[in-house]
Amino acid sequence: ATALRLASSRRAAHKWRALRSFFPRWLSSSTANEAAAAKAAVAEADRVNLTISNPVLLLNNVSHRYSSLSRIVLEYADNALDDREHEYRENEAYAYPLEIFVDLETRKGKLERVTVRDNCRGMRLAKLMRLLEHVGESEKKFTPWLNGQFGFGVHAFRAAADQLIVRTKHAEEDHVQELRICRMDTSFAPALKSALPLEHASPSGTGTEVVMDGIDPDWGHDLTCEEMVREIQHHFERLLTRSGLSIRVRERQIDSKRSEKAAAGGAARKAGGGAAAMDRDVRCSAFDYDSIEGRDFTPNVDNDKLKIRLKVADREHEGQRARVFLLGRRINEIGNILSFIRRSKHKQQLWSHPQLVGYIEVQDIEPVITRDEFKKNAAREELYTALLSVEGKLQKALSEELDKQRVVTYNVIENVLGKALKRAIRIDRNIASPPGPSDDVSDTNAIGSLEESGTTGADTKVVEEEQKPTESSQEAEPTPKEKPKRSGPGIVLRELPETADGATRRYQVSGDLIEINTAHPDFKSRIRQKRGRVQMNDRLGGYLANVITASYKQQMYERTGKTPSADEIYDDLLRSASDIEQSLKKSMPALQRELKAISKDGPKKDNIEEKAE
């Protein structure tokens, strides 16, 4: 039929061209219009229409863009928030509390059903059926303060569940409508009157329940109550600050042990007797950025639709890295937005650091379909410019915080090194003079005095002479706190200046203090840092064992006046270095845990001041 129409249209157009060339004066503008219409008909006949042979298969594949079941559930909770957004924007408050419930139902430890309930306005029957008839169209697209853009959200269930059940009640309807969408069906029955009332309706009886039934085991085994709460708090963080908004996650077991209870609850619901009992009920809350200690950075932006609050914290906050929110919903961590990172000088080393926390709220930047990036426009350019303007200050503040942690980290390492040195000195003393049954273990020979006074860098404090306070001095000021006395070798990790001839020394011995140079290339090549945090490892431990052995042996030979042969020195150094290295290896697991705790809990102020002294 198309071929016949095309041939007919072409013949007609050919005839008109022939007539116009033969009778040019007779066929004026009216005939020209008819000829143009014929030409347009030919062009239209040449066009090819788009046909999707299996729409269900296409929708099922599109739904797999979701990476987790929790993100799918968020789509349905998001619809409830959008439904009452207009009243919040008009009045800066909800007319009545907005309540959203996410119910997880498990049987024998396996998730079977997820239900999202709300007390919003509900949907009319025509709108409910439109969900099926018009795929890829979103009524929210042209409403700037609503979140929907693409119209695929209702079909997100296809990735993880067998069917979707929608129960809804609108003020203009006299009963609850129920619609079922099965994953593999190509045709659907119209909405019917539901046999069950809504569990949590508004004061006027409106609301919606979206049930994902028949959860695939591969998708459901990771979704717990804790994970769902965490995902909601991360995704809707900026919306959860609103008063009158409540999002709760509940969990209920429907296994055989509770079958009677579940049946009773279902019967009560059917009779309108209320909700079935839940095993767990957790309310989601917004994160309080004021509770984080650190330095605030807020760029000057002359735009009401852009709000930036960044903070360099004194410790790591893994779940609160700086993120971008669009209309109150999370888009992505700023460190994962590649279009921005390509323009950044410090890249993810700064923007993905767990000590850089905060949020960036935008309203008029359009996301891509995967909602993890932004389309290029003037609003995106303004956001990136504002962030890049404070990048240098953020990096400087972060470096200062990491330096504070490094001070305390070195202090912890020095303590471990001091214990290893003390053990090595004790072994040397026993080799030099093996103790007998009647020997005094408190012998104060040169090696023994090193052990007894072998303190760490944390204890290397000089005490002023004690003076007996007079009555007047007692009244004038309190006696200063007595500090432990240092009289032996201590270990300190710090940067040492170059020698007079420009050489970089590994260590230096200042009296009884062994100072190990952290700026030496051999030290720097062995130390490992993760996000600026110092990490101890066996390779660094071996290097420190050798440096400590060389420095303390030098002290020992000078004090004892001993002049050993080259072979004796070589054997002595190897033995002591091996002893210290083995001692460090035994301490390594506990040391690594302590260093990790410093980054999690932050350096204590007292420790920083003590190290500075």
Eight-class DSSP state of 26: T
Residue 424 in tokens: 């090595």
How far, in Å, CA of 556 to CA of 285, rounded?
Answer: 62
The pLDDT score that the predictor gives to residue 587 is: 87
Residue 217 in tokens: 């085991």
Are 580 and 545 spatial neighbours (Cβ–Cβ below 8 Å)? yes
The pLDDT score that the predictor gives to residue 444 is: 37
The residues facing 246 across adjacent strands are 99
The secondary structure of 561-613, three-state, reads: CCCCCHHHHHHHHHHHHHHHHHHHHHHHHHHHHHHHHHHHHCCCHHHHHHHHC
The residues facing 250 across adjacent strands are 103, 281
Classified as helix, coil or strand, 151 is: coil
The pLDDT score that the predictor gives to residue 423 is: 86
Contacts 24+ apart (CB under 8 A), 290-298: 292/317, 292/320, 292/357, 293/602, 294/355, 294/357, 294/401, 295/397, 297/358, 297/390, 297/393, 297/394, 297/397
Residue 354 in tokens: 């767990």
The pLDDT score that the predictor gives to residue 83 is: 92
How far, in Å, CA of 502 to CA of 490, rounded?
Answer: 26
Are 514 and 469 spatial neighbours (Cβ–Cβ below 8 Å)? no
How far, in Å, CA of 194 to CA of 208, rounded?
Answer: 12
- Kindly list the domain boundaries of the chain, sorted by start residue: 2-46, 57-283, 289-389, 397-434+442-462+483-612
Strand stretches in 198-283, DSSP E: 207-215, 245-253, 280-283
End-to-end Cα separation, the chain, in angstroms: 95
Q: Longest C-alpha distance within the chain, in Å?
A: 140
Angle of CA points 62, 68, 71, to nearest 5°? 80
Classified as helix, coil or strand, 451 is: helix
The pLDDT score that the predictor gives to residue 52 is: 60
Instruction: Report domain 289-389's class.
Output: alpha beta
Same fold, 57-283 and 289-389: no
How far, in Å, CA of 464 to CA of 468, rounded?
Answer: 12
The amino acid at residue 374 is F
- Burial classification of residue 42, based on how many CB atoms lie within 10 Å of its CB (0-12 exposed, 13-18 middle, 19 or more buried): middle
| Helix pair angle (391-432, 538-560), 10° resolution | 50
Within the chain, which residues score under 70 in pLDDT? 1-33, 35, 38-64, 134-152, 255-277, 433-489, 531-532, 599, 602-613
Architecture of the domain defined by 57-283 = 2-Layer Sandwich (3.30)
Sheet with 294-297: strands ordered across? 294-297, 306-313, 356-362, 323-326, 329-333
Number of neighbouring beta carbons within 10 Å of residue 559: 13
The pLDDT score that the predictor gives to residue 344 is: 95
Give the phi and the psi of residue 152 in degrees, each rounded to 5: -100, -10
Where helices occur in 460-537 by DSSP H, the ranges are 471-476, 521-526
